[in-house]
Amino acid sequence: MQETALYPPIKAFLEAAGYTVKAEIGPADVMALRGDEPPLIVELKTGFSLTLFHQAIARQAVSDMVYLAVPMGQGRRFQKALAENTRLARRLGLGVMSVRLSTGLVAIHCEPGPYKPRKSMPKRRALLAEFARRKGDPNMGGMQGQRMTAYRQDALACARHLAAAGATRGAIVRDATGVAQATRMMRDNHYGWFTALGAGVYDLTEIGHAALSDAPE
């Protein structure tokens, strides 16, 4: 498939919206004019790529009305790529359109314009809570593999107490370690470190002992 296959349906779509459309004007794949409005520019590609974004960003030196255009694909993989690249385009102030080549249908997925991200207060609170609960700075930025979280630190504190004291009631572990959710944490047993012996008493499993031997102090 050639990029030129995208042009006729996009030209028809824009002309139906009142634009005069011409192809290959300077570096622009498609340029459209309507009255005294700024030029509308469309960059065509057979799929999303970094090159497509680079070209579209370069066209923003001419106009704020810049779109990326790709053929509409099928399946989850394409839908995921469309969603992710639309989010990126929105952040860059670019528009995104797709063309269903079988029917000539053009769909607009986002319009060009300044990006104003909506803040997620629950996500912010979760980050602040994790920062506050985390003891010290046990990780390296950009690291791969198992990360030390505040939850894991609390679980290790409970495990260390059980390793030293043996089977213990949850309330005693809570008071000894300062982990307010010690009983629930051992009951949930997210890591498989704890075993319930009945009546709120918990002990350490072999997996828990192994985890302690591998854990930093």
Q: Which residues span the domain enclosing 191?
A: 147-214
% of the chain beyond a pLDDT of 90: 76
Domain count, the chain: 2
| Calpha distance 66→48 (Å, rounded) | 15
Assess if residue 92 is contained within a domain.
yes
Whether residue 37 has pLDDT greater than 80:
yes
What is the domain-level CATH number for residue 16?
3.40.1350.10
What is the domain-level CATH number for residue 172?
1.10.10.10
Looking at the structure, do residues 170 and 104 belong to the same domain, yes or no?
no
| Calpha distance 101→122 (Å, rounded) | 42
What pTM was computed for the model? 0.62
DSSP character for 194?
A: E
pLDDT tier for residue 141 given thresholds of 50, 70 and 90: confident
Q: Which of 86, 110, 134 is the last residue of a domain?
A: 110
Q: What is the pLDDT of residues 65-80, one digit of tens each?
A: 999 999 999 889 999 9
Angle at which helix 150-165 crosses helix 206-214, to 10 degrees, equals 110
Assess if residue 134 is contained within a domain.
no
Give the pLDDT of residue 160: 95
Give the pLDDT of residue 117: 65
Assess if residue 11 is contained within a domain.
yes
Whether residue 17 has pLDDT greater than 90:
yes
Q: How far is CA 13 from the centre of its chain?
A: 32
Give the pLDDT of residue 150: 93
Assess if residue 95 is contained within a domain.
yes
β-strand pairing of 105-110 with 168-169: unpaired
Give the pLDDT of residue 47: 93
